[in-house]
Structure 1
Amino acid sequence: MTARQKFSWARPLLRCGAATCLLLVLSGCAGSGERDAKSPETEAEAEVLDAYGAMWAEQTKAYRVASTRETDLQRYLAPAELRTIETDMARMTEERTVMRGDLGHEPEISALAVGTQPYTATVRDCVDSSRWQILDTTTGWRLPPPADQEVRYVVTARMERGERWTVTEYTEDRTHGC
């Protein structure tokens, strides 16, 4: 057998191997596209967590100045929940306190119903207030946190989707840690 004859067998094998690899790559790409498509539940979960995070960002702004005036809280909270925050802001104004620092969050969706109208979701969050401090605005001094409250506590928010996701019920359990 000559070198030329040996080489002639290699060429068809290489072509067959290359064609097989290309076919595998293309079929893998087609399959992953189907898996990457977002389901309505996945999109709803992302929207819920985005709205919940935005609500907390606005709430943090309010607590830093003891006022809801410069916030978009009405966009993320139902009227009853907004009144609760406004009552808290009035108390803080009377006591001449504001909040400083940051809150940590670990929100998870514990229930989601997108087959009913309105869509509903329940978010369970473990809030870490270890870097969140009460500040006396007249002296500038930090005030100690209440002794009977956990530093990490559970927040539960029930949300509904109308024009957008809003918090319709909000509860904090500061007596039990998470």
Structure 2
Amino acid sequence: MVTARQKCSRSGVALRCGAATLVLVLTGCGDGHGHGESDAKPPTDPTTRATSAAAVPRAAHSLPPSGTADGATEAEVLEVYGLMWAEQIKAYRAASAGGTDLKRYTAPDVWTAFEADLARMDKERTVMRGDLRHEPEAIVPADAQPPAATVKDCVDASNWQTLDTTTGWRIPPPPGQPARYAVTAKLERVNGERWTVTEYTPHRTRPCQGLSDN
């Protein structure tokens, strides 16, 4: 699984969005690939779509905390995080970033980590299938220079599975990985350019029930 970070916030206190790994990302894409098979084959046409990761902020009814950016800035962060997430889902469903814009939204270190994970999947002949959901929240300090944001996310990977493309069998997730796990990320905006995901870290052994658990 990839290690990198990103954040999104909610208008008012923090922008929150629910949607569909990264790592992604991506339960099932970690230790344990190729170790064991389930006793049931997937549908012959495994084309179940992952939920779109586009950030959909929830309305807030209070003013932003002192020292944080306004809701519009936080919405920008949330949008970029959601776009990166959607491209990540596409890449992991194909075990390749080809045809995606994943690189566009990530800093070099994050992109390199994703590339390495996807290359491993391609070598092991595995892809991701099913439905991946998440609940990200971003906080943007008003005085950060360059502008930076932190994202807390709770990923629900209970219906996100690794598929062995040589046998058609689904591979169980690594032992100890909860169905819902925490993810943290960091985004930065340098020289007025678009927000970029500079860190993305799935905490695959840290369970979460929602944002308050991250």
Question: Normalized against structure 1, the TM-score is what?
Answer: 0.75
**Which 5+ residue runs of structure 2 have no aligned equivalent?**
1-60, 62-67, 209-214
Name 1:161's counterpart in structure 2.
189
Show the 5 A alignment for 1:51-90. Answer: 51-90=80-119
Equivalent of residue 96 in structure 1, options 102, 105, 125 = 125
Report SS of the residue matched to 1:102.
strand
Q: Which has the greater radius of gyration?
A: 1
1:52 Cα offset (Å): 0.6
Relative to structure 2, which stretch is displaced further, 43-52 or 112-121? 112-121
Equivalent of residue 139 in structure 1, options 149, 155, 167 = 167
Show the 5 A alignment for 1:1-178. Answer: 41-109=70-138, 111-162=139-190, 163-178=193-208
Distance 2:182 2:83 in 1: 18
Percent identity of equivalent pairs: 61
Distance 1:47 1:82 in 2: 20
Give aligned pairs, total: 141
1:170 Cα offset (Å): 1.1
CA RMSD in angstroms comes to: 1.8
1:69 Cα offset (Å): 1.5
Question: Normalized against structure 2, the TM-score is what?
Answer: 0.63
Relative to structure 2, which stretch is displaced further, 141-150 or 75-84? 141-150
The runs of at least 4 consecutive aligned structure 1 residues that moved more than 4 Å come to none
1:148 Cα offset (Å): 1.7
Would you say the 8 A contact 2:69–2:140 is kept in 1?
no
1:40 Cα offset (Å): 5.8
In the alignment, residue 97 of structure 2 is paired with which amino acid?
A: T
In the alignment, residue 174 of structure 1 is paired with which amino acid?
A: R
